[in-house]
Amino acid sequence: MKQVKFVRITSELSGFGPFKGTKYCFDGAEETVREWIEAGWDYCGFVPLETRGQGDMETVSLVFQRETTD
């Protein structure tokens, strides 16, 4: 049987200025994936949950799974 977990992450505003140099980043996403993989989970992908008016992803859910012995 497979066990599935979802980990929600949200992009954060980064940079400076009202226009140029401002961007949204998913800071910490790679570390989160690494931690779950090291804990024995397989990374399967992500599901976009929220988008901004321009179509940029704001919140995603990282999908992990692993086999259980049940």
> What does the alpha-carbon distance between residue 67 and residue 17 come to, in Å, rounded to a whole number?
47
Q: Which of 22, 20, 24 minimizes the C-alpha distance to 10?
A: 24
pLDDT tens-digit series, residues 6-64: 999 999 877 766 666 577 888 899 999 999 999 999 999 999 999 988 778 899 999 99
Which of 10, 4, 3 shows the shortest CA–CA distance to 49? Answer: 10
